[in-house]
């Protein structure tokens, strides 16, 4: 049985920002005196909050980041997103084929979601159904964001299906009592499966999984 509501993560699932974001954060941290590779940034911070990443950086530096760090980092990242972000290959066709009620539930800010989805041409599909961790102060793997989105849209968690690409996101969906599909693009398939996702590698395969109910693994 197909779900009543499909909850999409944003970065790495709808838009291909998961390469741009870690690279720009690595550049910003290096400018502040903490060299990290984009791969290190992605491995350590993927799926978490920017605040947690900055707290980790300050702990390693043994001092506070510059007062204007966040403002400058957002300027860099937004410029990079405008220049580089595209829709994940195959996701437009998947959205057209699935045709179920859906929303976006992301740890990113509403400003960032509207920017990246807008650049990718996907914003009109989700207008009015964007949910951000910043709205409620809850970041994955806490289930609060998914539960908030489902409650707002009037759908029981057991009738929801989440599409995620990070381990914290998968854990949040499982904790919310929702079935979850793990897009194994940049995160190893075995890690997503171990967290509780049924995995897939191509967006072309997603509509059949969703329509089939995407039973828990």
Catalytic residues: 9
Count other Cβ atoms within 10 Å, centred on residue 53. 18
With 0-12 CB in 10 A as exposed, 13-18 as middle and 19+ as buried, what is 212?
exposed
Nearest-angstrom CA–CA distance, 168 and 92: 25
Where do runs of H (alpha helix) occur along the chain?
20-31, 38-45, 50-61, 69-84, 91-98, 110-119, 123-126, 133-136, 144-153, 167-175, 189-195, 206-211
Q: Which two tokens stand for residue 31?
A: 């400018």
Q: Which two tokens stand for residue 170?
A: 């998968």
Q: Which two tokens stand for residue 74?
A: 């957002």
Length of the chain: 217
């Amino acid at each position: 049985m197909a779900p009543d509501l499909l909850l999409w993560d944003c970065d790495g699932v709808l838009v291909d920002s998961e390469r741009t974001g870690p690279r720009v954060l690595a550049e910003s941290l290096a400018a502040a005196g903490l060299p990290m590779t984009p791969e290190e940034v992605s491995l350590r911070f993927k799926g978490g909050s920017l605040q947690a990443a900055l707290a980790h950086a300050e702990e390693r530096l043994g001092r506070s980041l510059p007062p204007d760090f966040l403002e400058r980092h957002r300027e860099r990242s937004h410029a990079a997103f405008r220049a580089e972000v595209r829709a994940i290959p195959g996701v437009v066709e998947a959205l057209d084929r699935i045709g179920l009620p859906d929303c976006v539930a992301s740890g990113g800010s509403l400003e960032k979601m509207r920017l990246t989805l807008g650049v990718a041409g996907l914003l009109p599909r989700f207008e009015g159904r964007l949910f951000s961790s910043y709205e409620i102060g809850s970041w994955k793997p806490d289930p609060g964001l998914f539960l908030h989105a489902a409650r707002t849209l009037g759908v029981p968690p057991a009738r929801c299906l989440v599409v995620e690409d990070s381990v914290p996101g998968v854990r949040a969906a499982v904790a919310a009592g929702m079935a979850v599909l793990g897009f194994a693009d940049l995160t190893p398939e075995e890690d997503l499966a171990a967290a509780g996702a049924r995995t897939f590698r191509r967006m072309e395969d997603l509509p059949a999984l969703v329509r089939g109910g995407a039973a828990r693994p």
